[in-house]
Structure 1
């Protein structure tokens, strides 16, 4: 039985009824921290009365808070968890209409990526459109600032396609370019030297695959993580291929990588145009690809902004401050 508004007293109060007290406890969160977070986002006050929640405050704030509370309760009824991140997601997604050309797998409105360890859900509309494009296009670009989930979601989709048999392997790559400081020669063999550059890709994989299973997949080359320079001469067939930090690929490297695409494969290119670490005067291959390929069918370009940042709220504020200070083109 879903929640419902059973009374709307003068405009100063909206009362919501939640039949299952155990779910209501999860909805409120420990020490009512979920309610506190919703209050801060909407400017309302939420009071608990038995199995009812009374929402006081501005009419628009009441409406927004009530919509989010109902959506979160419905989620709990489906056996899913509610967290601060999920509350933020509900605020971002509230009131948005579903695209008319959705894939069948998303016809119900929910966009979910199943992996071995967790269920991944986009938290903004841009992320949702991005995930849909990854499933529907053989070549997709994700362009935007750090913290918007470009690489994380791409790896999640890759793991999903691997475990469902849509592809035979995952290949993750990125340019081995230092970010503004020279680290000098690194000790060890070739793997030891390149692993520090590849660590963000390992981090994403560890979120979606059990450690022993991931280690076995890497050993068997079902999952490969390699610098961009190692891609020359290969044809990548029946694989899910991700190029991360593509803004640090040169035009020649980008062309080389894009032409590796083989039969039965899907390729994702992610990057942030504001974080180019190439030597001065060397053009970014990401910018060239964006300019040359944006009218080719079956290639999608997905863009993110500071509003799509899903890290700490300060990250979004930092990105917006730098964007505001950037020279106008």
Structure 2
């Protein structure tokens, strides 16, 4: 007898296909040259997971179409990809990786599709990629609630730096995940009892507005400035645990102005919006570092709200400390924005305007 041959995923009569590996869809490639338009059909074995994979009203497939310049047509648990051979292969890589994640009980949160697309690009086109066995190229932070994975090469370098160095600077534009990943790593250390507490600080500087007197006790006065950190905590930890930790002091909100004189031991300390610190404030904060502590400093040098003429403590610290042992400076750009695809274009537009302004500025008069 002749052994049965595997067939495609279409509706024609054919011998039964070999069962696919549990975490991989059935794949049928059209027989076309590599440099000509290609078509591949993926068949996923779980309708519920396939629905989650494709996204609400196919929004995940729509993102893959835009990013990889292909056409993705969904029919039930099948999806047909059309485009260049390389683009279709990369789209297959993305869909298989996300599907394998769902198979393992994971979930797809906003930005995961974008992150896997960037990860695929960093790995190149892997025609033999198996998401069930292939080691992920981007690092991750393991939390009780869910793992937090890097979505760009810069985020990957940032996570690796957090794991290897005592003092890490995260410098770059809004939306690149600097604060969120810093809080995730701090939570990771607290959950594993590597440290006893988290200390969260931020300079109380208004963004171009004067809010005047704020009512309430010290925590209530400072809370508006630390809202982004609270949002990250509630996203990464159970809300009830966050409230208990705030009450017990395991998570402490420490206004930068009142850090002087303290020694912060057995703690992970985060200073957010550090571009709004003065030179003296930054020096004071850095010298609080105690035994068995980690310090993470984040900021965006393009959004300094200090009075004119004052030097940003973040810029000075990065220049002075960048080459010191056990200190790492991680830089992000507009290409690393993961908040919303439009945010990346907005940041790039403002960066282009700033570059053009500097190029067109009249030359300074020579000093006499």
Is TM-score (shorter-chain normalized) higher than 0.5?
yes
Deviation at 1:42, TM superposition (A): 2.2
Deviation at 1:108, TM superposition (A): 5.5
Using a 3 Å threshold, how does the CA distance of structure 1 residues 288 and 257 change in structure 2: closer, same or farther?
A: same
Higher Cα Rg: structure 1 or 2?
Answer: 2
Matched, 1:89 2:121: no
Q: Within 5 A, what are the aligned runs for 1:263-302?
A: 263-302=291-330
Other structure's SS at 1:32 match: helix
Residue of structure 2 in register with 1:54 after alignment: 80
Give the distance between the partners of 2:343 and 2:83, measured in 1 at CA. Answer: 29
Give the distance between the partners of 2:149 and 2:291, measured in 1 at CA. Answer: 29
Residue of structure 1 in register with 2:217 after alignment: 189
State the aligned residue count: 321
CA RMSD of aligned residues (A): 2.1
Q: Within 5 A, what are the aligned runs for 1:166-205?
A: 166-205=194-233
Other structure's SS at 2:304 match: coil
Q: 1:5 aligns with which of 27, 30, 34?
A: 27
Matched, 1:249 2:277: yes
CA contact (8 A) 1:3 1:74 kept: no
Deviation at 1:90, TM superposition (A): 1.0
Give the distance between the partners of 1:63 and 1:137, measured in 2 at CA. Answer: 37
Matched, 1:67 2:93: yes
Give the distance between the partners of 1:34 and 1:70, measured in 2 at CA. Answer: 13
Using a 3 Å threshold, how does the CA distance of structure 1 residues 211 and 84 change in structure 2: closer, same or farther?
A: closer
CA contact (8 A) 1:201 1:225 kept: no
Using a 3 Å threshold, how does the CA distance of structure 1 residues 198 and 46 change in structure 2: closer, same or farther?
A: closer
Residue of structure 1 in register with 2:337 after alignment: 309
Give the distance between the partners of 1:21 and 1:195, measured in 2 at CA. Answer: 45
Unmatched runs of 5 consecutive residues or more in structure 2: 1-20, 125-134, 360-368
CA contact (8 A) 1:37 1:84 kept: no
Deviation at 1:89, TM superposition (A): 0.9
Q: Within 5 A, what are the aligned runs for 1:97-108?
A: 97=123
Using a 3 Å threshold, how does the CA distance of structure 1 residues 132 and 231 change in structure 2: closer, same or farther?
A: same
Using a 3 Å threshold, how does the CA distance of structure 1 residues 239 and 35 change in structure 2: closer, same or farther?
A: same
Using a 3 Å threshold, how does the CA distance of structure 1 residues 278 and 90 change in structure 2: closer, same or farther?
A: same
TM-score (norm 1): 0.90
Other structure's SS at 2:97 match: helix
Matched, 1:120 2:148: yes
CA contact (8 A) 2:123 2:137 kept: no
Give the distance between the partners of 2:155 and 2:57, measured in 1 at CA. Answer: 31
Matched, 1:79 2:105: yes
Using a 3 Å threshold, how does the CA distance of structure 1 residues 84 and 183 change in structure 2: closer, same or farther?
A: closer
Give the distance between the partners of 1:260 and 1:195, measured in 2 at CA. Answer: 22
Other structure's SS at 1:67 match: helix
Unmatched runs of 5 consecutive residues or more in structure 1: 99-106
Residue of structure 1 in register with 2:63 after alignment: 37
CA contact (8 A) 1:198 1:227 kept: no
With a CA cutoff of 8 Å and minimum separation of 6, indicate the structure with the bigger relative contact order. 1
Give the distance between the partners of 2:77 and 2:240, measured in 1 at CA. Answer: 45
Give the distance between the partners of 1:276 and 1:84, measured in 2 at CA. Answer: 29
Other structure's SS at 2:169 match: strand
Deviation at 1:82, TM superposition (A): 3.0
Residue of structure 1 in register with 2:358 after alignment: 328
Deviation at 1:76, TM superposition (A): 2.0
Q: Within 5 A, what are the aligned runs for 1:8-27?
A: 8-10=30-32, 11-27=37-53
